[in-house]
Structure 1
Amino acid sequence: MAIITKIPAKPVTKPTIVESQTDGTIESFIATMEQEDAPKAVRVAPAPTPSNKSNLDSINVTEALKERYTKLFQDGYLVNLHISVWGMCANLDENDLKLDKKVSKLIKLGKKMLIEPEHLNEFKNMESKARRYVYRNSFDFPISDAHFVPKKRLSEVLTKLEEFRVEFNALVTKFVENYDTYKDAILANEDYVDIVEVLKPLYPPVGAIEKKFGFDVSVFELAMPQAFEETSLKQVIIDEEAKAEVKVSLNEQLKAQHENSLKLLERFTEDASMALRGKLVTMCTAIIDKIKNKELISKANINTIQEEITNFRALNFLSDSAVEKEIAKLETLVNGNNNFKTDQETIDTLSSTLSDVLKTAENLTDVADIRGKYFRKIKV
């Protein structure tokens, strides 16, 4: 189940996490998201592109940062995956290794497994599968430990993560049901006969096992860090002179935090643009190399091209028009009734079209312009 609640704002110099307001279900969240995605008026606002301290001094940093937060969270949400798995082990100590003295603090003794590792691996593989899916369908966000998912892809991502959660919980149910069997298999194993008495007290009761596992999804956005209010300072400062001095100091710190956050958001959009283009570069390079090596262009290769085009559009919240123009031509080609197996002229056309996409995607000189155009389009 996606965690969709609101976390109260705190007067700190970090961005405030504000989780989306729904009744707590994925379905209602998606419905709310679709309503918010209805067409809105657009105004073109000046978007300073601070690249150094002097530029930052010449703009209202707080307003510039607020506009960027507003723009980003009109186009996507942050998603965080919380997965907890019982390690099925306990720490080794000197008695386990039959040592006659305490080991040096520079030496770590490691773990002793309480359950066969294959059962732990089932959960680890499940966790890896879910996290890989999130990585492929999002962008690392620099200001919180989360992933930015564009709205076009969010419904699909939440639905898939719900499938992973159901699969994970089924593993938990199976493990709890078989816990005593797994435990007895270890205690009855002749290879462990010399440590059975050491292991027995380390096993938690079966009733406590289920709570050691968890799979939750948080969907949230970041609110602008707020300036320090007079009332909050009165709670900690009585002396008027000291209050004024501290307020100046705190607001200077907040300004520095705003400047740093502004730079991070600017960098995030550029990194997202480069990452999205990088996926196309990888695909185009692989297919072009096949053509150069006279290898057969299979239906699977054409499917890969179509999937990458779909993926690019779902994640292209920055409106990268240069690449979109080229992949539109590629899409027309691969969706047509063409023979890519034996028609050399068609194969050459495919190679040429892929090369055009590759050339545009590899050219990173315009990513700053993409970022600038993106932040100049502020919805109101």
Structure 2
Amino acid sequence: MSTATVQKSKSNQDTINLFEVGCLVNLRISMWSGRKMLTRADLVHVGYDPDKLPEDIVNLGRKLMVPKSELQTLNQIEQRARKALERWSVPFGIANAHFVPSTMIMTVEQQVKELKKEFFVRVDSFIRRFDDLIKAVKDAHPEFWDKCLKGHYPSNPKSLRQLFQFDWYTFKISGVSAIEEVSAEEVVAKQKVQNEREVELRQQMQTAVGEFVGEYVTTMRDETVRFCNLMTARINGTPFEDEEDVKGLTPKSISCFRNYIDRFRSMNVFGDGSIEKMLSEFRDTFLDSGVTPQDFESATVASSITKALEAIRNKAAAEGESGSQFIGELKRRIVI
């Protein structure tokens, strides 16, 4: 993991430095595709007979060189890593990065680090067994392998390892000048142009950051509205959104509701205090560690919870609109 920190901005009590409350994370995962395009020559080799195209390794104009399950396992690890990052972040829109609150960066790093280890354990196993995997395809489809696949495999399976990448980068941006390349010999001659360009780029960056902060808060509040709607449906035995069947409360769903509120508090880096206060009070009142689904069966309890959720929902929905006073003030306070 590499960390690049660019000049630290000065701030005061009336401003919030975006990169003092969080940082950007860029996750890069890639792997050998294990596929080749199905060419016209391949069709000639099988006599244009579709019955000679094995369905388990030929699909959508591509032919698999190893069993599908091998690459699916690596893809699943990649998806788990991306979900681990997404759980504690919001897309930033610059440099293909995600913004992670400082309080959660160690949690994200630990989860991603463990998945990276699992990823390369699987990669090394894949490379060790590569000859056996080729043999499995050859034995299953000898004619197709001989005519359409055998010439595409690397002579040295170990060379494939360089095609598997799993890296993440944590970085901060706090000043445009620090990301410009400036030649010392040209400083005097170009100073005015550089200053004008820096002002323009800083304004553009400030606008982009302001929009991001607004989207961040709005996303958090939209998730709160969804949380309220989902729990209301579970409490009252009604379908949620496009569900066909009614689903009731379970110990697992209660735990998920608890975790959502904890996540909101961890991700609330911009001081959305009213929503956090209402959620925290709701958790303390209705979702303490000892509650069970049976505790919610009383009509009185269900009514009380429904009213509390409605109040939270209304607060989040009303202040989640683009013109809300809170978001407008927050945008003016953010600096980079």
CA RMSD of aligned residues (A): 3.3
Superposed CA offset, 1:147-188 (max 9, x none): 010011111111111121122122112211211100111223
In structure 1, which of residues 353, 360, 364 is the aligned counterpart of residue 315 of structure 2?
Answer: 360
Structure 1 position 344, deviation (Å): 2.2
Residue aligned with 2:44, SS: coil
The equivalent residue for 2:44 is 98
In structure 1, which of residues 81, 90, 93 is the aligned counterpart of residue 27 of structure 2?
Answer: 81
| Structure-1-length-normalised TM-score | 0.71
Letter in 2 for 1:112: K
Indicate conservation of the 8 Å contact 2:210/2:334, yes or no.
Answer: no
Distance 1:319 1:308 in 2: 17
Distance 2:173 2:100 in 1: 13
Summarize the Cα distance change of 1:264–1:286 in structure 2 as closer, same or farther, 3 Å threshold: same
Task: Point out where structure 1 has 5 or more consecutive residues left out of the alignment.
Answer: 7-17, 21-40, 48-67, 100-108
Summarize the Cα distance change of 1:227–1:309 in structure 2 as closer, same or farther, 3 Å threshold: closer
Task: Point out where structure 2 has 5 or more consecutive residues left out of the alignment.
Answer: 46-59, 239-246
The equivalent residue for 1:282 is 226
Letter in 1 for 2:232: I
Structure 1 position 131, deviation (Å): 0.9
Structure 1 position 322, deviation (Å): 1.5
Letter in 1 for 2:262: T
Distance 1:228 1:126 in 2: 33
Distance 2:84 2:181 in 1: 45
Indicate conservation of the 8 Å contact 2:90/2:216, yes or no.
Answer: yes
The equivalent residue for 2:271 is 319
The equivalent residue for 1:4 is 2
Summarize the Cα distance change of 1:374–1:75 in structure 2 as closer, same or farther, 3 Å threshold: farther
In structure 2, which of residues 256, 280, 294 is the aligned counterpart of residue 304 of structure 1?
Answer: 256
Indicate conservation of the 8 Å contact 2:29/2:164, yes or no.
Answer: yes
Indicate conservation of the 8 Å contact 1:269/1:371, yes or no.
Answer: no
Superposed CA offset, 1:257-292 (max 9, x none): 222211110010110001111222112101112333
**1:376 partnered with 2:333:** yes
Summarize the Cα distance change of 1:127–1:367 in structure 2 as closer, same or farther, 3 Å threshold: farther
Distance 1:97 1:117 in 2: 21
Matches within 5 A, 1:26-45: 43-45=12-14
Summarize the Cα distance change of 1:194–1:153 in structure 2 as closer, same or farther, 3 Å threshold: closer
Letter in 2 for 1:161: V
In structure 2, which of residues 225, 237, 240 is the aligned counterpart of residue 293 of structure 1?
Answer: 237
Distance 2:333 2:180 in 1: 30
Indicate conservation of the 8 Å contact 1:130/1:161, yes or no.
Answer: yes
Structure 1 position 87, deviation (Å): 0.3
Distance 1:301 1:188 in 2: 47
Structure 1 position 373, deviation (Å): 4.1
Residue aligned with 1:98, SS: helix
| Structure-2-length-normalised TM-score | 0.79
What's the % identity of the aligned pairs? 23
Superposed CA offset, 1:302-350 (max 9, x none): 2222111100011111110110121122012124566633322222111
Summarize the Cα distance change of 1:98–1:233 in structure 2 as closer, same or farther, 3 Å threshold: farther
**1:196 partnered with 2:140:** no
Q: Give the stretch that moved more between structures: 261-270 or 165-174.
A: 165-174
Summarize the Cα distance change of 1:174–1:97 in structure 2 as closer, same or farther, 3 Å threshold: same
Distance 2:182 2:314 in 1: 57
Matches within 5 A, 1:122-271: 122-189=73-140, 191-204=141-154, 205-226=156-177, 232=183, 234-235=185-186, 243=189, 248-249=192-193, 251-271=195-215
Indicate conservation of the 8 Å contact 1:19/1:219, yes or no.
Answer: no
Letter in 2 for 1:311: R
Residue aligned with 2:277, SS: helix
Letter in 1 for 2:12: R
Q: Give the stretch that moved more between structures: 73-82 or 296-305.
A: 296-305
Distance 1:286 1:150 in 2: 26
Superposed CA offset, 1:45-83 (max 9, x none): 4x6xxxxxxxxxxxxxxxxxxxx6xx1111111111111
Alignment coverage as a number of residue pairs:
307
Distance 1:87 1:125 in 2: 14
Distance 2:315 2:92 in 1: 25
Residue aligned with 2:219, SS: helix
